[in-house]
């Protein structure tokens, strides 16, 4: 008896020889937590994707909504909000206006009322905001929520994360520690 193996693209379902298919690894996706996963696909199915190397994180608060939706979009898509190159000027003008409301007025020295956001993107501590969902900072001790992206980075790169933490003199992530195992979703 012979066994015939048929390879198909996970994207289109089209049959292929095994050597025609490449691997598409999905490392992070907002709708799924149990990643990474690997899909098989033809090169021409992937060519249409445009790899964006620069992103903008925004929050959209709809009219009348209590909370917002946080989005990460490509810089090109963000710039298209004004139909082209004008977005840099719009953001720069908003930064200037925000700065004007956060510094003392020239006459009388009184501060304007109202909450002003920080120009440098820092948090309440006054320092720059740290992205713990990046390989550069994943696994560092912090008081915030551990995102699925940070958990995945720690799980997928535990040795590298621990080496970085050790060099910085910070606590390492011990996969035998029940608290850290649960916090980062590590296997027991």
Please give the pLDDT value at position 102.
64
Q: Which residue has the tokens 């900072």?
A: 137
% of the chain surpassing 70 pLDDT = 77
Please give the pLDDT value at position 50.
66
Preceding omega of 159 cis (within 30 degrees of 0): no
Other C-beta atoms closer than 10 Å to the C-beta of 159 total: 7
Other C-beta atoms closer than 10 Å to the C-beta of 47 total: 8
* pTM higher than 0.85: no
What confidence tens digit (pLDDT) does each residue in 87-119 have?
A: 777 777 777 767 776 655 544 444 444 444 444
Phi, psi values for residue 99, rounded to 5°? -65, -40
* Whether 138 contacts 157, CB under 8 Å: yes
What confidence tens digit (pLDDT) does each residue in 18-46 have?
A: 688 888 777 776 666 777 777 788 888 77
The dihedral formed by the CA atoms of 134, 138, 143 and 145, expressed in degrees to the nearest 10? 70
pLDDT class for 55, splitting at 50, 70, 90? Answer: confident
- Domain locations in the chain? 7-47, 55-102, 121-188
Alpha carbons 55 and 70: distance in angstroms, whole number: 13
Alpha carbons 184 and 174: distance in angstroms, whole number: 10
Alpha carbons 125 and 46: distance in angstroms, whole number: 43
Q: How far is CA 165 from the centre of its chain?
A: 21
What confidence tens digit (pLDDT) does each residue in 58-77 have?
A: 877 777 778 878 778 777 77
- Mean of the per-residue pLDDT values for the chain? 76
Alpha carbons 183 and 145: distance in angstroms, whole number: 10
Please give the pLDDT value at position 30.
67
């Amino acid at each position: 008896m012979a066994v015939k193996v048929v390879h198909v693209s996970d994207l289109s379902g089209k049959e292929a020889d095994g050597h025609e298919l490449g691997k598409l690894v999905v490392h992070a996706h907002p709708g799924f937590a149990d990643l990474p996963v690997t899909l098989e696909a033809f090169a021409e199915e992937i060519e249409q994707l445009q790899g964006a190397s620069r992103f903008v994180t925004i929050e959209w608060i709809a009219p009348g909504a209590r909370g917002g939706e946080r989005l990460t979009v490509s810089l090109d898509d963000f710039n298209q909000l004004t139909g082209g190159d004008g977005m840099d000027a719009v953001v720069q003008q908003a930064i200037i206006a925000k700065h004007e409301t956060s510094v003392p007025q020239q006459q009388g020295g009184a501060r304007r009322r109202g909450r002003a956001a920080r120009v440098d993107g820092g948090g309440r501590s006054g320092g720059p905001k740290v992205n713990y969902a990046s390989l550069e900072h994943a696994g560092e001790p912090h008081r915030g929520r551990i995102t699925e992206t940070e958990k995945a980075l720690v799980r997928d790169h535990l040795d590298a994360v621990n080496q970085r933490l050790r060099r910085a003199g910070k606590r390492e992530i011990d996969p035998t520690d029940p608290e850290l195992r649960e916090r980062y979703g590590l296997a027991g």
